[in-house]
């Protein structure tokens, strides 16, 4: 290098360094649709920022003097392994049916509660684990405070300046290293001073110190209520837990302070929190949490922070980056998230829609990983000993909604925990099928917990609902449809679907009013109208289960005799009916009240997530769904609104779908007061039922995807239609999405402008026949595995055929 070249090199190096430093400071490179940020610490839990690795979750408050990192481990629940079935309940099954046929609902409720319910009446609850507490000695004159969550990397951070230095903290939950990692640094040497400790909310726990490790050991509290409504005790809590926090400092020193560790005059510090319980599986709680913690820490020993962070980012972004969404942005998009949320309904800020969309994916990646428990009502984040609805699994909508986004937004492997839970329920649910119904197969009602309770809980007027397991089976079928994994179909999905179908073969009864029809009952249309015979939703779900079981058996070439039986039964299941107001009937009897605004709109299951109602194939029923939705109105809890976003998208009405989305994108807490019974968002963009319930977040991501791509209909050959931009709202008239998936294992990039398709790229991952449909025009192609095809609007204009 000569002198001139050296000068040039130095200059280029200088300019690049300045750009990269200023980028760091001003966050110029940050994509506002990947960042939640605030200029104040969190004042309450729903303002704190969530991180998680599927097993461990944490909520970071970002305090300046006092920092709280509240954490969870997903297996810490009240109770112990337990069989909830009610021996001999089947003795009253026929009487329950007779009472309902005779119109004696009150008597049926009473008998149901006396003889047919789970033992005890309720299930157990998910628990908080503990808090990491930090106390900082903060120099004066704090300025430029910022806390943020980078959802593309899964890292939460806090930065502020003082007269002495710039201080920065990062927190993430590493999946590869199974730890919550906290890194602290100051821009000037020796300025970092803090005390760190652990505490728990459980009544029995102790904290101790072993060198540079703080140890928290305890035993789960009992369920918050001692006795159920029939004075039966809840199973005693038996799980023990342990967390260990290791502190590593650089440049300073550590000192013991009671059972905490004091870090003095350090430049940097890294803290690793590992945690575990004695839970092994729903039948076994003989795990050794101390040993597990020891192993987690041993694995971390000697690994530099940078390596752990890089591994975390690689692991996290590998999942997150599969889908990119750009709906445009403006200056408003760079404002703090809380301000964006407050003004969303007045502002042009489609970027906030992208942020909320990706946040749903972020939350699933953080709360559901292969080998973990499925995301519960709060995902993995809970700070209460007695959380709303026990933070368990409600199966009459909520648990399924949690996973609606998984396959379509390219997070297929994250369904593994749900699928494993269904496999467990197929075991516990077999006992319930036998004891409560006297039939073969397996059944699950409207809730489950970590002990895989499958019996009807709470109250007979809504707990006796036997189609929970059948609904969950849809997710196993989807997994096959999206991956085409035949071994999965053979070994996992089919046996579960077959036994779920077996249950309904034995359970369905002839309708006395119409002996050609088979109906479900005793059951209910979730949480609306009490115990009944023949709710529409059940029939839709059972038809769907039978159809999927038949197709799976055909693909696998097995069980011809059994398939013949379910084929005959399916043909006799009572059909969807249109009632006197033009509405889709919620029950076989036409008794819908057009004034009823109930949050559940269960009888539209066949529209979404089912596929038996569609404006193109069953226009009359689709119109009846539209009437029903207009009766129910746009109100509702968070998940109810989220479901309606999906319903309207399936009715191909993007503008109505967006209207619901806009209604949901409002602050749930205004001037410190929670809006009652109306869904909205908290400051940290958690969805509000209220209170916080994560299903709404996941349902939003699913609903937006349904606006852009749908693949649930098939042509006469059984190939899926890939409907492109089927319900594009005018408010999102331009944008770009890549990585979303359609059935048949296709991956899509779609770009649109002024409400029209601009460019489309399809990757065929399994080599299936491709059937693209856009605005009534169809392009069909035979594809090779891994073939990539591109299309423009002109291809649909000039080289397509009219849709069937
Ligand atoms: C169902 C819903 C409630 C709530 C609960 C967890 O029972 O009806 O609104 O979401 O689940």
Using the mean position of ligand 1's atoms as its centre, give its distance from the Cα of residue 527 in Å.
8
Which atom of ligand 1 is closest in space to residue 389's alpha carbon?
A: 6
- pTM recorded for the entire structure: 0.96
Ligand 1: residue of 122, 387, 397 to mutate (most ligand atoms within 8 A of CB) is 397
The residue nearest atom 1 of ligand 1, judged by CA position, is 394
The predicted pLDDT at position 12 comes to 38
Per the listing, tokens 């009150």 go with 106
In short, whether 576's Cβ falls inside 6 Å of ligand 1 is no
The residue nearest atom 11 of ligand 1, judged by CA position, is 394
Which atom of ligand 1 is closest in space to residue 462's alpha carbon?
A: 7
Which atom of ligand 1 is closest in space to residue 377's alpha carbon?
A: 6
The DSSP string of 308-367 is HHHHHHHHHHHHHTT-EEE----GGGGS-HHHHHHHTTTS--HHHHHHHHHHHHHHHHHH
On the 0-12 / 13-18 / 19+ scale of CB atoms within 10 A, 143 is: exposed
Which atom of ligand 1 is closest in space to residue 388's alpha carbon?
A: 6
Averaged pLDDT of the chain: 95
Over the stretch 257-309, which tens digit does the pLDDT of each residue have? 999 999 999 999 999 999 999 999 999 999 999 999 999 999 999 999 999 99
The predicted pLDDT at position 19 comes to 34
Which atom of ligand 1 is closest in space to residue 446's alpha carbon?
A: 7
The predicted pLDDT at position 675 comes to 67
Using the mean position of ligand 1's atoms as its centre, give its distance from the Cα of residue 401 in Å.
12
In short, whether 399's Cβ falls inside 6 Å of ligand 1 is no
Task: Please indicate whether residue 25 or residue 579 has the higher confidence score (pLDDT).
Answer: 579
The predicted pLDDT at position 676 comes to 61
Query: Max Cα separation, the chain?
Result: 100
Contact 454, 445 (CB under 8 A): yes
In short, whether 693's Cβ falls inside 6 Å of ligand 1 is yes
The predicted pLDDT at position 452 comes to 98
Of 86-95, 135-144, 420-429, where does mean pLDDT reach its minimum? 135-144
The residue nearest atom 8 of ligand 1, judged by CA position, is 527
Structure token pair of residue 604: 């539209």
Using the mean position of ligand 1's atoms as its centre, give its distance from the Cα of residue 394 in Å.
7
Residue 490, sorted as left (phi over 0), alpha (psi -120 to 50) or beta, turns out to be: alpha
Using the mean position of ligand 1's atoms as its centre, give its distance from the Cα of residue 102 in Å.
29
Closest CA to 267 of 166, 159, 388: 166
Using the mean position of ligand 1's atoms as its centre, give its distance from the Cα of residue 243 in Å.
32
% of the chain at pLDDT higher than 70:
96
Does residue 31 register a pLDDT over 90? no
The predicted pLDDT at position 670 comes to 83
Residue 133, sorted as left (phi over 0), alpha (psi -120 to 50) or beta, turns out to be: beta
Residue 799: pLDDT band (50, 70, 90) is: confident
State the CB neighbour count (10 A cutoff) for residue 255: 11
Q: Distance (Å, rounded) from C-alpha 567 to C-alpha 203?
A: 55
Contact 694, 687 (CB under 8 A): yes
Does residue 638 register a pLDDT over 60? yes
Q: Distance (Å, rounded) from C-alpha 437 to C-alpha 503?
A: 9
Over the stretch 715-738, which tens digit does the pLDDT of each residue have? 999 999 999 999 999 999 999 999
The predicted pLDDT at position 29 comes to 58
Over the stretch 749-793, which tens digit does the pLDDT of each residue have? 999 999 999 999 999 999 999 999 999 999 999 999 999 999 999
Structure token pair of residue 428: 């516990």
The predicted pLDDT at position 269 comes to 98
Structure token pair of residue 483: 């991956």
In short, whether 777's Cβ falls inside 6 Å of ligand 1 is no
Q: Distance (Å, rounded) from C-alpha 620 to C-alpha 465?
A: 28
Q: Distance (Å, rounded) from C-alpha 30 to C-alpha 35?
A: 7
In short, whether 377's Cβ falls inside 6 Å of ligand 1 is yes
Q: Is 111 helix (H, G, I), strand (E, B) or coil?
A: helix
Who's near 31: CB < 8 A, 6+ residues apart?
152
Q: Is the peptide bond before 690 cis (omega within 30 degrees of 0)?
A: yes
Using the mean position of ligand 1's atoms as its centre, give its distance from the Cα of residue 601 in Å.
12
Structure token pair of residue 649: 């998208």
Using the mean position of ligand 1's atoms as its centre, give its distance from the Cα of residue 590 in Å.
25
Does residue 338 register a pLDDT over 50? yes
The predicted pLDDT at position 682 comes to 97
Closest CA to 770 of 708, 705, 724: 724
Does residue 475 register a pLDDT over 60? yes
Mean pLDDT of 180-185: 98
Using the mean position of ligand 1's atoms as its centre, give its distance from the Cα of residue 461 in Å.
14
The predicted pLDDT at position 802 comes to 61
Ligand 1: residue of 125, 449, 456, 527 to mutate (most ligand atoms within 8 A of CB) is 527
The residue nearest atom 7 of ligand 1, judged by CA position, is 394
Over the stretch 659-711, which tens digit does the pLDDT of each residue have? 999 999 999 998 788 866 789 999 999 999 999 999 999 999 999 999 999 99
Q: Is the peptide bond before 300 cis (omega within 30 degrees of 0)?
A: no
Bridge partners of 260, per DSSP, are 257
In total, the chain counts a number of residues equal to 804
DSSP 437: I
% of the chain at pLDDT higher than 90:
92
Per the listing, tokens 């994916």 go with 361
Ligand 1: residue of 468, 693, 696 to mutate (most ligand atoms within 8 A of CB) is 693
Using the mean position of ligand 1's atoms as its centre, give its distance from the Cα of residue 402 in Å.
13
Task: Name the strand (E) or helix (H) holding 525.
Answer: strand 523-525
Which atom of ligand 1 is closest in space to residue 693's alpha carbon?
A: 10
The predicted pLDDT at position 10 comes to 39
Closest CA to 734 of 283, 218, 454, 350: 350
Using the mean position of ligand 1's atoms as its centre, give its distance from the Cα of residue 593 in Å.
21
**Torsion angle in degrees (nearest 10) through CA of 696, 698, 700, 706:** -140
The DSSP string of 217-248 is EEEPPPPSSSB-TTSPBPPPP--EEEEEEEEE
Contact 638, 709 (CB under 8 A): no
Over the stretch 605-625, which tens digit does the pLDDT of each residue have? 999 999 999 999 999 999 999
In short, whether 398's Cβ falls inside 6 Å of ligand 1 is yes
Using the mean position of ligand 1's atoms as its centre, give its distance from the Cα of residue 507 in Å.
26
Using the mean position of ligand 1's atoms as its centre, give its distance from the Cα of residue 600 in Å.
9
Does residue 251 register a pLDDT over 70? yes
The predicted pLDDT at position 4 comes to 45
Over the stretch 340-379, which tens digit does the pLDDT of each residue have? 999 998 888 999 999 999 999 999 999 999 999 999 999 9
Residue 138: pLDDT band (50, 70, 90) is: confident
Ligand 1: residue of 123, 387, 390, 394 to mutate (most ligand atoms within 8 A of CB) is 394
Structure token pair of residue 41: 């610490």
In short, whether 637's Cβ falls inside 6 Å of ligand 1 is yes
Using the mean position of ligand 1's atoms as its centre, give its distance from the Cα of residue 36 in Å.
28
Task: Tell me the H-state helices in 116-161.
Answer: none
Closest CA to 709 of 477, 319, 483, 409: 409
Task: Tell me the H-state helices in 585-694.
Answer: 619-632, 638-650, 654-664
Using the mean position of ligand 1's atoms as its centre, give its distance from the Cα of residue 419 in Å.
22
């Amino acid at each position: 290098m000569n002198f001139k070249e050296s000068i040039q090199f130095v200059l280029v190096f200088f300019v690049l360094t300045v750009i990269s430093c200023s980028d760091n400071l001003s966050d110029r490179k940050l994509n506002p649709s990947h960042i939640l940020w605030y200029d104040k610490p969190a004042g309450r839990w729903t303002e704190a920022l969530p991180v998680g690795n599927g097993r461990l979750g944490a909520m970071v408050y970002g305090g300046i003097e006092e920092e709280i990192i509240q954490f969870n481990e997903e297996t810490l629940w009240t109770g112990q392994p337990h069989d909830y079935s009610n021996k001999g309940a089947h003795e009253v099954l026929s009487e329950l049916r007779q009472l309902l046929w005779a119109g004696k609902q009150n008597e049926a409720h009473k008998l149901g509660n006396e003889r047919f319910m789970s033992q005890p009446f309720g299930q157990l609850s998910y628990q908080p684990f503990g808090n990491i507490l930090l106390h900082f000695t903060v120099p004066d004159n704090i300025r430029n405070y910022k806390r943020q969550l980078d959802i593309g990397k899964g890292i939460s951070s806090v930065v502020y300046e003082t007269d002495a230095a710039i201080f920065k903290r990062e927190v993430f939950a590493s999946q590869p290293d199974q730890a919550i990692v906290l890194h602290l640094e100051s821009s000037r040497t020796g300025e970092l001073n803090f005390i760190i400790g652990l505490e728990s909310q459980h009544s029995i726990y102790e904290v101790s110190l072993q060198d540079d490790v703080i140890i928290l050991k305890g035993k789960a509290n009992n369920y918050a209520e001692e006795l159920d409504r029939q004075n039966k005790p809840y199973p005693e809590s038996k799980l023990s837990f342990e967390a260990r926090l290791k502190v590593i400092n650089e440049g300073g020193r550590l000192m013991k302070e009671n059972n905490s560790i004091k870090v003095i005059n350090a430049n940097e510090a890294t803290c690793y929190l590992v945690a575990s319980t004695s839970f092994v599986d729903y039948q076994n709680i003989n795990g050794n949490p101390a040993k597990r913690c020891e192993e987690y820490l041993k694995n971390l020993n000697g690994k530099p922070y940078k390596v752990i962070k890089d591994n975390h980012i690689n692991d996290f972004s590998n999942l997150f980056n599969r889908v990119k969404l750009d709906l445009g942005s403006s200056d408003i998009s760079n404002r703090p998230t809380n301000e964006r949320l407050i003004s969303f309904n007045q502002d042009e800020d489609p970027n906030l829609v992208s942020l909320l969309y990706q946040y749903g994916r972020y939350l699933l990646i953080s709360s559901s990983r292969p080998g973990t428990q499925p995301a519960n009502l709060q995902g993995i984040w809970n700070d209460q000993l007695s959380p709303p609805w026990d933070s368990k699994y409600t199966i009459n909508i909520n648990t399924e909604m949690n996973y609606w986004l998984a396959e379509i937004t390219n997070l297929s492997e994250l369904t593994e925990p749900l699928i494993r839970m269904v496999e467990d329920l197929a075991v516990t649910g077999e006992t319930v099928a036998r004891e409560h119904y006297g039939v073969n197969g397996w059944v699950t009602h409207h809730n489950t917990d970590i002990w895989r309770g499958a019996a009807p809980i709470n109250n007979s007027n809504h707990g006796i609902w036997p189609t929970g397991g059948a609904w969950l089976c849809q997710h196993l079928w989807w997994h096959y449809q999206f991956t085409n994994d035949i071994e999965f179909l053979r070994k996992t999905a089919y046996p579960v679907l077959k036994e779920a179908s077996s249950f309904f073969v034995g359970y369905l009864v002839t309708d006395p009013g119409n002996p050609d029809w088979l109906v479900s009952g005793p059951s209910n249309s979730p949480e609306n109208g009490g115990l009944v015979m023949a709710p529409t939703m059940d029939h839709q779900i059972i038809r769907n289960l039978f159809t999927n079981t038949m197709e799976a058996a055909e693909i696998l070439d097995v069980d011809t005799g059994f398939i013949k039986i379910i084929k005959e039964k399916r043909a006799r299941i009572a059909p969807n009916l249109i009632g006197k107001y033009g509405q889709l009937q919620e029950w076989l009897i036409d008794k819908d009240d057009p004034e009823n605004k109930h949050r559940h709109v269960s009888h539209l299951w066949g529209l979404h997530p089912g596929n038996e109602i569609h404006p193109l194939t069953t226009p009359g029923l689709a119109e009846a769904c539209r009437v029903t939705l207009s009766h129910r109105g746009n109100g509702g809890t968070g998940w109810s609104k989220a479901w309606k976003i999906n319903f309207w998208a399936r009715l191909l009405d993007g503008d109505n779908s967006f209207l619901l989305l806009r209604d949901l994108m409002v602050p749930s807490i205004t001037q410190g007061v929670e809006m009652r019974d109306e869904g909205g968002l908290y400051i940290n963009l958690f969805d509000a039922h209220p209170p916080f319930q994560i299903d709404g977040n996941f349902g939003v991501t699913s609903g937006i995807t349904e606006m852009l791509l749908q693949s649930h209909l098939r042509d006469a050959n059984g190939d899926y239609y890939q409907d492109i931009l089927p319900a594009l709202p005018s408010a999102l008239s331009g944008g770009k999405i890549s990585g979303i998936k359609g059935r048949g294992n296709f991956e899509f990039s779609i770009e649109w402008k002024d409400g029209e398709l601009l460019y489309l790229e399809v990757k065929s991952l399994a080599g299936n026949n491709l059937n693209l449909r856009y605005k009534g025009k169809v392009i069909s192609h035979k594809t090779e595995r891994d073939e990539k095809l591109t299309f423009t609007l002109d291809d649909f204009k000039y080289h397509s055929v009219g849709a069937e």
